[in-house]
Structure 1
Amino acid sequence: MEKFIISGGKKLFGSVKVHSSKNAILPILAASIITEDNIYLHDIPMLEDIKIMIEILRHCGCEVRNTDETLVISPNVVNNDINIDIVNKLRASILLLGSMLARCNKVILGMPGGCNIGTRPIDLHIKGLSKLGAEIKLNQGYIEAKVKKLKGEKIYLDFPSVGATENIMIAAVLAEGETIIENAATEPEVVCLANFLSSMGAKIYGAGTDTIRILGVNKLKSASFTPIPDRIEAGTYMVMAAVCGGEIEITNVVIEHIRPIIAKFKECNIKVVEGENTIKVFSTDKIKPTDIKTLPYPGFPTDMQAPMMSLLTVAKGTSMVIETIFENRFLHVGELLKMGANIKLEGRVAIVEGVKRLTSAKLEAKDLRGGAALVIAALMADGTTEIEGIEHISRGYFEFEKNILSLGGDIKRIV
């Protein structure tokens, strides 16, 4: 089992470039099969989750070539039976439900997997696709879906689910007539998918608002597209800069996408300087406490809750963190306690009393963002920390230790 060995207390200086967003790339990959023409995707980091999605596409018959961080996808779909083991390693595999219905009119799909951060039901996906005319049957361990012809419909989502919004949008672009998604997710990744689909000839209006209108077309064409920068990767390096001494410039960012994170940094007395597509963060030893409540965009992102909690463990006072999206997203708390953090859990609320310093310990990453939080904590802690379970981290951060080393951190991957 691979692990990180991190010697803390090193000040971090320099610049780091954010990669394209994993959470934007995965739905784009799923949507790439609804055309018969080649798709060209640029600046694609080969993260574990992306590799899994590519493997699934190849299983379906697609040819996927990778040259200089550009993926060339030839979507020759010949196999609509995707009840295979790798599907349950990836939550985003559920997005193939909409794309395969649009392309093949039927699909058998294994149940999706991903991090164990709480219940992530697929009921809204099924509700939306069923409204478009699909017949969907849940079996033991897999989903069976078919449709004679997708037809546009008005769909109201009980919760602004990012995945459900994306799945419905992918299917609806080839549906007959007009589809309206009400209470749609407004996340930047949803807008990015809409822009990708539009570049293929789809007619989508209102992405980024809570009402998305889609006019179905008969066919989509080839496209060349670069996904948006990863706002969670940017936020993770921002936290790293704030707590590790020194200063870090983070490039290739969309400032508006990280506005909720910037707001919390200012509340915490952390200096940030915004550029056109860069942000510079200056460390401080006078971090003020703040309260965080995770919410759908443009609220504070649930994916940044764990990294921010590492920061709040050394704030001068008491902070409250409320997790409203996933009920099991405090798996990192027990590990932070091993390092001397003072955190009390009450259901979905964490009360964080700041301490002067964290100390090294032997830790285990139990999910992706919690794993990143432990790396941040280890970088600022006294002594040498060992983190196991880093395969979770590799799912979402490309060349993580390489970037940390370039900033002056002391981190080694042990295989």
Structure 2
Amino acid sequence: MPNTALEANLRAVGDGARLEQLAVDLLGREGYDVDPTGVRGPDGGRDALLERLGKSGVLHCSVTSSNIEEKIRSDAESASDYPEEFDFFIFATTTEIAGVKRDRLENELADTYGWRVQIKDFARLRKDLMDVDNHDLVQEHLHVDPLNALDDPEQDIDELYEAQLDRLRDRQPRHGEIVDEEPIVAVHVIPVESVSDPPRMIATDLPDPPKFRSRSAGTEGFGDFVITAPYTELSEGGFSEYVCLDGNGWVEAVTTKLTMERKGRHGIAWFIDKEIVSLMDSLREMYQTAGIYPPLYVYITIIDAENYPIEKPQSVFGPDTTRPINENVFQLKRVKIEDLDSNIALALREPLYQLWNRIGWRNGSIHYSKNEDDSIEWDPYES
């Protein structure tokens, strides 16, 4: 199924209050009178009282994606404890639930509480919003031009990434220059909002980006972007590493300090995986602070490392990783992160495996392990 602008921004609602406002307006089109109660739970859940044709009900909304069926059951149980007597229960969520499961859950709750139950999951909300009579709500709540609602924003995201990559090929950051000595490891993170509903913030409104490899760093604003980098490099403009947050919400993180020398040869450091995962965990917290929501598109690129292998720890059993990357600009598989609660390490596993496979490590990265049931877990090697 294509990831249209409407779908992408619906997934990126990211907050129970925003979802409630959208659901309230949609229900108003269906003849419901809505009295928002302002109750908000710790997971972003909301509820509002409803009335239609002389019958009363309650609306619950949540953007929680994990264990959504248990969340719906829990909210229904809470609603049953309200002093009001309800005739119906409506639950709105941006999570997509398989139709069979959704129908089964509606019947289960109806039998348990004697209500008419409707679960407006992602698929149903999308269907409602695609109705031409609701296109004004698409524009109001999702900030998508109805004429472009079915466009695919992923093409715009790829083009934004490629434009930044063109600069890095010439070792040109947004500000200053990148030192020449070592290969570049670059991580670009582009929220769908950056191309479909850009926040257009200025430096004073932006949170401080995290560090990437730096032990100590400062942050400085430059108009519509901010950079975190070592203090001396911020003043001199010759960067060995930095993290740049653009006012439209996308990030460019660069380091030239993920190389090492062993036995007279230079290679990419074996802990590259850990540094990238750590960076992404910090960026997740930054996006939560900034109120910028998934989906996030992550691109990992290795530049000017054509003759570099990865230098694994000597104590790790496996092939002698002497095979070089053999590509001047090595672009790893793009990753799409749908939820800020996602396991970042597992989300990045495929591109990190791709990197280790390239230099001859057949079983993938040394920082993951396989359990007896063949499931994979993040198990970073500690030297």
Question: Normalising by structure 1, what TM-score?
Answer: 0.32
Greater relative CO (CA pairs within 8 A, separation 6+): 1
From the CA coordinates, give the structure whose radius of gyration is larger: 2
